[in-house]
Structure 1
């Protein structure tokens, strides 16, 4: 426990111990909050690259991709993922737990860093802002390096502060080690090197050009330079842009560009109030620095620390202005704690200045009892009022997120990912039915390799340079650089592959790239979407899909029902596979005392209005205790006016105990073409399997019956 918690005169701990206890409880609460539903959704974004690297480390001892290239980027993070996978099993939950632990450990580190600038009340409040920040919650739940990067970034600043600003030389070696190791989590950690520049401005050149500063700075700078040269000349995967440097000029143009203030704008876009206050507070700092009252020793220390954190926040933003990279707010994630800290300090000093201004007419210039408490009270209120992207409700939405839930893009990225993608579903389906001689074509080779049994033959991508420069020319032709799949980049190539497949079955795994014109061209997308008779599986994001071509001469696929239950765009129930079921999969609802419910799932209505017979295929598992009961309720409503279209409850006692599928039919009056809401609810202690839902136009020759009564679906049941 830090020394400032102990009262040296009386020998017992100060009242601040209460804040530390609260901090511990906060960390425990946040940990359990962030692990809730942690493995509900598929791996996505850049998770696949590091999970694949971890899997390859467990197989080869180092991150050797199937293409033969090594992932050097974030290599330490990949090894940590591999270690966790080796100890606890290589699962999505295990890999994402690394980020959860890192994000929770960052909270006490931030508190003790903030305590060097503000009161314990404000430091704890700032920790709460981080704990319930949407940014923090998002990245704490991904198997990407960001949370660990933020932790080690904070640790570098904290130990540098102890070593040089507080003069505690015993922390010198830990500081140097942290600074050298940090970029191997990610190179964004090189921004910590601005701490040395801050030291120069704070103490001047006489203090800077001493042995205890020079040799660490030279050693750290040399390690950073070697890392960047290694990337420039030896990396084949993990870089942002295509690169073939032939000299110093080309090498510099790979890393740098003309200056832009875009990342300053990103701060103001994501944190409009906090960012504006922090940027403007720099002028408040200058005024206090020039003020005579702040030449006292205590105030000078405070101002030195303020400048230290200012430089470590502002200079990386300026550096990013020259750096060549895709403009994404996630590259500022490691600076988020500094933004919160500077926000706390700015609000505190604004309140102090306003209070001094208010008291000046009353000739109250010296400090009086309760002044600090009054400043803390006003600061507390303003911080609560002006903080950005810190919300319990928003945090809950992230933790409970399901497929098709909208994602605010300034939290994750501005590259168009507005919802979570389901690579797991399509990959698992292919893996289950994959045969050794099958051909696999996909639009995201890494996730298909992870989930699809380690087989990807072709990468379909028609985007040009700048969309995803993942190709290279080999002796065998053009291939992608991750798993070594051949590159298909035109409709003609795709059609040729399909027509010449011969005795090989062919799987085409479409990802959300199918709907992005800079990824897949319109003509290729139109061709794939037209293959409705080849569609065998759809992911829970309602975007990803699997199309299947049997070997030439084999029996074609049978006609499919209108909709498969396993296509339900929500993580409700469990998808299981069985060749006898329609399209080889079904949705399993396991027995549970809790209600499994998902309301208002968007349903795109492609049926013309009219009268139909709706078919539901369901069963219960054989061998389960007969006395137990369960029920599955399925409801359709119109989205526009919430009118009931169809509702039926299937009870387990209506199903055959031998586990055979049973078809339930209901007559419905289907509305005009519009989007619908689908709601599904399951409860009980006996499992129910749901195979499909189908529509059959009602023969007009059949005598009309009371369709209103039939909404509840009790008309007919057949095996």
Structure 2
């Protein structure tokens, strides 16, 4: 013991630790433990307090997959099933699945659609809907409209269930259903106005029977327990009497093997539901205010009723309450307020506080037990006034009387609610539960850490601080796996519940144990001087010899080759899959104008001075490779592939190889970059030039005395600007960056200011850009107006700040399916702060290249779109990779803590060969640094390197995978390889154009309610287009108003339309989803006559024809 103390004293004198290093080490340990506590608390909270979504097997009975039997390749189909009801059922529901998007109608009433799920890449799921409120006595029609966005035949599987008493009847889809994909049968020429194909009065005698369809590889599953819809609502509700408020309490005894509980609640007014004394939710089932009447172009020119239809009745809410109930006695308490004025619309004005509540209990044997509130039960106690502790079922409530039972007031509609707030329910989270979970998990995490560091592993470390530091990283593998699980939970195709289950909790605990075992083996092998087995050592030498035969460059940069191999099929596969959208066609016609006239002239004769460099590159590509099979997208594909090695080399120049590899992977697999890399636009070329400019200006400023580098830098700047003028946001940062980099100690001002070549190059660059701006100004005809925003393109304002905050940090609230950049944005922000703190010139230069253009984009450039962030992505991913790798290295520095090593003399000492008492004590102590115990400051042993590599790989994988989810919306090649559903993202005007060409007659004209340039490309002509709030794109030519891209004539109001229709007999109208399949506001200025009939319908495009 005396020897050990002497060694400790000597070593502390030999290796002093500064207070700053102690603080940094303590900060690292604190962050590791904080993350461990946060991860454990989050998983525990989700596991014990949050209902986890699960999948259920639908009750298909004999329902089959069916499709239309017409021999047509239309992407839409219509399905009908008629049945006659003599007696209204107690409950009715429809289970449905489709390939891909569907709209379910009952007697002409829209019940539901899964459009949003398909748009968001949710995959194929089954759905169940309560339809009792839409059924009528007599004939009833179930109608389904199915559209497929993936070039496949639309198919559907549906099952209508009706509950009468204790029996349930099913009417599944089969060949008795009628189906067609012929628009002429769904919208016949001489149909009676107002009688739609989904109503009971429609004559469907010409419709053929449905045919059997192929069974999909993945069987759709439900996200809700079907028993909740199959069980009829109680025929009797309970009330507290004539008061304005009602308070209800009851006890429920649950068996020990209970696994799930669901709660159904419906009330005449707002209802506060308490479970075991805690407020669970506030439910409001009242109807919403009737929506404003809207106009729909798809109704043959006449005003249609409101969509969706206003339905009278109360809403029945369904909750998964499994975490809130326990085995044994539970208390349910409900406070119901009297209904408000809105309920007068559903004839409930005579009722007071009344409600109905059911509980579905599922046990381990998968048996279902219903606890209802009908007249057969006597468990409820009620009062019109509350007492202290009533929500916990206090003794004061025992004297409450029995409730009054009233008849069920009218119809209702069922809504399955997630464990979150919505306009109908306000979910309540309790701070006490969160605090309890946090404290318990923090105590366990810190306790295990202290026991392992100060008791179990203390003997291997010289100081307690070293043991505490080394053992703090054992939680990192489990944290990395949990982060990956959270990321994968964003994928809709993952099995549910996932990942917050007991099995995954055990996996995470096992990973903590594995981390400790690897740490222990690392210390033990160092301490005991263990060496590898000779055979393993020889195998390592043989592998190393083989690796040494590979050229050094490939050994160091093999990761780039892997990224290129993965990225090539992602970007190349099936370039012609997507139809061209309007911006792509603008670039296409500019390139065609170059081939015809030498300058980018549009079909209207308008000069297109935007993205000139890209237009000429595209024209060259068309001249060399043609434009078939999507080859006009070849320049963007080639630029994308070329940008990856360039970005890798530039990032390696600014940082180092591993950061460059991660940043390149982020850029290569970014959903945004993959979309732009497959588009006929200048975005990818401009992004390539931004990377080049970023490097060239730093290189030139760093070597500011070099006479030629300024000219190369300005040349790259001109190429960037002429690729896309939006890159003007980089002009200020180039000035600031060059002045920052070139500042040195030999000059009072930045060095570039003393170099004439910089002044000459700058003057040349400013002159050329000025010439381009003059061409833009004087070549553009006089503008007749502006766009609907009524704002100039450049203006200092803060209106766009919320949009970009949502886009970068909260993409789910944008209402659009955009990549999840939250983690990337946080990492980029940390990278900026880290770069400024580190003081590295190159890292600070990269920070400037992100921050200043982003500020200009947000505060100066008035248009908003997610594509406008594309030039920022190189610096964005560069700094994100820098933050992630630097953070991981900071934590892994804890793995380099010195471990004591026992030498042969120490082993003899342990065998009492030497004694510690006597004259040799001091001599032995002073020789201890080499003979008995030595500090080991070398690289971590192999087991610890495995732990580090495993954690780093999972952390990087999580960052790369998150933006790619959901996988159904990521990339066509990935979807094909995984066998999952995909969809077209652009309107199918190609199908509409093909139909018009097949039925074209001399004298026909085309009116576009869609982008005119798309109709021009796919139809071959466009005579007129409906112009609403698009004066920015109109100009005067030959005393007539025309548009800048196509030269077609705009229809500005109803009189313009009527005049055109009076002069032409046979007229085609092409519309898109934005103006036809949804509704437009009441202030719309156009109504089309009833003699237009729908002749073609795609998944987006619709064609109307008037025969004349």
TM-score between both structures, scaled by the size of structure 1: 0.61
Pair 1:450 & 2:1017 matched: yes
- Counting only pairs closer than 5 Å after superposition, residues 460-471 of structure 1 correspond to structure 2 as 460-461=1026-1027, 463-464=1028-1029, 469-471=1032-1034
Distance 1:229 1:51, change over 3 A: same
CA positional deviation for 1:88:
1.5
Which of the pair has the greater relative contact order for Cα pairs under 8 Å at 6+ separation?
A: 2
1:633 alignment partner in structure 2: none
Distance 1:390 1:110, change over 3 A: farther
2:807 alignment partner in structure 1: 266
1:505 alignment partner in structure 2: 1066
Alpha-carbon contact 1:356-1:365 (below 8 Å) kept: no
CA positional deviation for 1:230:
3.9
- Counting only pairs closer than 5 Å after superposition, residues 146-295 of structure 1 correspond to structure 2 as 146-165=683-702, 171-193=709-731, 194-204=733-743, 205-211=749-755, 212-236=757-781, 241=786, 254-259=793-798, 261-262=801-802, 263=804, 265-268=806-809, 269=811, 270-289=820-839
Hey, what's the Cα distance between the residues in 1 that align with 2:558 and 2:897? 39
Hey, what's the Cα distance between the residues in 1 that align with 2:647 and 2:573? 23
CA positional deviation for 1:185:
1.2
CA positional deviation for 1:143:
0.9
Hey, what's the Cα distance between the residues in 2 that align with 1:95 and 1:238? 31
- Counting only pairs closer than 5 Å after superposition, residues 104-115 of structure 1 correspond to structure 2 as 104-115=641-652
Alpha-carbon contact 2:828-2:883 (below 8 Å) kept: yes
CA positional deviation for 1:368:
4.7
Hey, what's the Cα distance between the residues in 2 that align with 1:365 and 1:469? 74
Hey, what's the Cα distance between the residues in 2 that align with 1:460 and 1:439? 14
- Counting only pairs closer than 5 Å after superposition, residues 406-555 of structure 1 correspond to structure 2 as 419-435=985-1001, 437-443=1003-1009, 444-453=1011-1020, 455-461=1021-1027, 463-464=1028-1029, 469-501=1032-1064, 505-515=1066-1076, 527=1088, 534-539=1093-1098, 541=1099, 543-551=1100-1108
CA positional deviation for 1:225:
4.1
Hey, what's the Cα distance between the residues in 1 that align with 2:935 and 2:718? 48
Hey, what's the Cα distance between the residues in 1 that align with 2:855 and 2:725? 16
Over the aligned positions, Cα root-mean-square deviation in angstroms equals 4.0
- Counting only pairs closer than 5 Å after superposition, residues 660-671 of structure 1 correspond to structure 2 as none
Distance 1:460 1:304, change over 3 A: same
CA positional deviation for 1:28:
4.1
CA positional deviation for 1:381:
4.2
1:75 aligned to which of 612, 627, 630: 612
1:31 alignment partner in structure 2: 568
CA positional deviation for 1:332:
0.8
Hey, what's the Cα distance between the residues in 2 that align with 1:525 and 1:19? 65
CA positional deviation for 1:331:
0.7
Hey, what's the Cα distance between the residues in 1 that align with 2:604 and 2:1079? 24
Distance 1:440 1:385, change over 3 A: closer
Q: Secondary structure at the match of 2:643?
A: helix
Alpha-carbon contact 2:729-2:857 (below 8 Å) kept: no
Structure whose alpha-carbon radius of gyration is higher: 2
1:389 alignment partner in structure 2: 963
2:874 alignment partner in structure 1: 337
Hey, what's the Cα distance between the residues in 2 that align with 1:30 and 1:419? 20
CA positional deviation for 1:39:
0.3
Gaps of 5+ in 1: 1-10, 244-249, 290-302, 408-417, 552-719
2:315 alignment partner in structure 1: none
Distance 1:14 1:375, change over 3 A: farther
1:595 alignment partner in structure 2: none
Hey, what's the Cα distance between the residues in 1 that align with 2:549 and 2:623? 44
CA positional deviation for 1:285:
2.8
CA positional deviation for 1:434:
3.6
1:129 alignment partner in structure 2: 666
1:98 alignment partner in structure 2: 635
1:350 aligned to which of 879, 887, 909: 887
CA positional deviation for 1:275:
0.8
CA positional deviation for 1:317:
0.6
CA positional deviation for 1:488:
0.9
Would you say how many aligned residue pairs link Structure 1 and Structure 2? Answer: 500
Q: Secondary structure at the match of 1:437?
A: coil
- Counting only pairs closer than 5 Å after superposition, residues 356-375 of structure 1 correspond to structure 2 as 356=893, 368-369=938-939
Distance 1:239 1:210, change over 3 A: farther
CA positional deviation for 1:187:
1.0
Q: Secondary structure at the match of 2:879?
A: helix
1:142 alignment partner in structure 2: 679
Hey, what's the Cα distance between the residues in 2 that align with 1:52 and 1:115? 39
CA positional deviation for 1:95:
1.1
Hey, what's the Cα distance between the residues in 1 that align with 2:619 and 2:853? 31
Give CA deviations for 1:508-543 in whole Å, capped at 9, x if unaligned: 222234238898877677637x556x323223x2x3
Distance 1:233 1:57, change over 3 A: closer
Hey, what's the Cα distance between the residues in 2 that align with 1:396 and 1:386? 15
Query: Which stretch of structure 1 is more off in the superposition, 65-74 or 126-135?
Result: 126-135
Distance 1:237 1:118, change over 3 A: farther
Q: Secondary structure at the match of 2:610?
A: coil
Hey, what's the Cα distance between the residues in 1 that align with 2:783 and 2:951? 47
Give CA deviations for 1:355-397 in whole Å, capped at 9, x if unaligned: 5578689999998546998988765443333444146945764
CA positional deviation for 1:20:
3.5
Alpha-carbon contact 2:972-2:982 (below 8 Å) kept: no
Distance 1:218 1:314, change over 3 A: farther
Alpha-carbon contact 2:614-2:682 (below 8 Å) kept: yes
Q: Secondary structure at the match of 1:499?
A: helix
Give CA deviations for 1:96-116 in whole Å, capped at 9, x if unaligned: 111111111111111111212
Hey, what's the Cα distance between the residues in 2 that align with 1:357 and 1:25? 31
CA positional deviation for 1:57:
2.3
Q: Secondary structure at the match of 1:52?
A: helix
Q: Secondary structure at the match of 1:515?
A: coil
Hey, what's the Cα distance between the residues in 2 that align with 1:122 and 1:90? 39
